[in-house]
Amino acid sequence: MYKYMKKLNYPINITKKDLKMAKYIITQLGGYAGELGAALRYFLQKFTMPDEKGKALLNDIACEELGHCEMIATMFHQLTQGATIKELEEAGLGSYYADHKNAVYPVDASGNSFTVDYFASTGDVITDLSEDMAAEQKARTVYENLINLAEDEAVIGPLLFLRQREISHFNRFSELYDYYIEKMTKI
C-alpha cells in the first residue's frame, strides 16, 4: 500500500541555525493545524467514506500529509542543528530540550504535546469533509503566518510549497464535498 520514496516532496537545505524559527515551525508538526493531525484525520476518515472515490482521495492526501510531517521534522532538525543548551534556553526551547533533547517531537509552538483531540472522525461524509476543508484552511493560515515570521529563503521556499499544497487539498476536498452533495440530492 505504501511506497516510501527516499526524498522529500520539496528539497530542504537550511544551513543557518534559527532556534526561534524552529520553535515556530514545530507547530506544523504537533499543533492544532499541523500535518500529523491532518494525516491521522484523513487516514481514519477514509474508512467511512461511502465509495472508493472518497476512500482513495482521503488515503492519498493522508499519505502526502505524512510526507509533510517529514518535511517539517527535517526543517526543525536543520534549524536546531548544532545548538547549545544555552542557545536553546535563550530561544525558549529549554523545556523542549529537557523532555526531548535534540529529538523531533510533535508539539505546538507553545510546547503543548500533540493530541488527537485536534480532529474528529464522525462517520458522516459531509461533516468530515467540512472539517477537512476547514483544517486545510487553518493550516494554510499557519503557513502564511510562518512565512511572515521567516527571513531565510531556505525556510520560506518549503513553507510556500506546503502552503500551496494546503490550497490544493482544500480544492480536492471541496470537489469531493460537492460530488457527495449532488449524489445525495439525486436520492
- 162 half-sphere exposure, CB direction, 13 A CA radius: 34
- The mean pLDDT of 70-90, rounded to a whole number, is 97
Q: Whole-model pTM? A: 0.95
In the chain the first and final C-alpha atoms are separated, in Å, by 33
The grid coordinates listed for 6 are 527516499
Q: What is the mean pLDDT of the chain?
A: 96
What residue spans define the domains of the chain?
A: 19-185
The 10s digit of each residue's pLDDT in 35-49 is 999 999 999 999 999
> What superfamily does domain 19-185 belong to in CATH?
Ferritin, core subunit, four-helix bundle (1.20.1260.10)
The 10s digit of each residue's pLDDT in 104-123 is 999 999 999 999 999 999 99
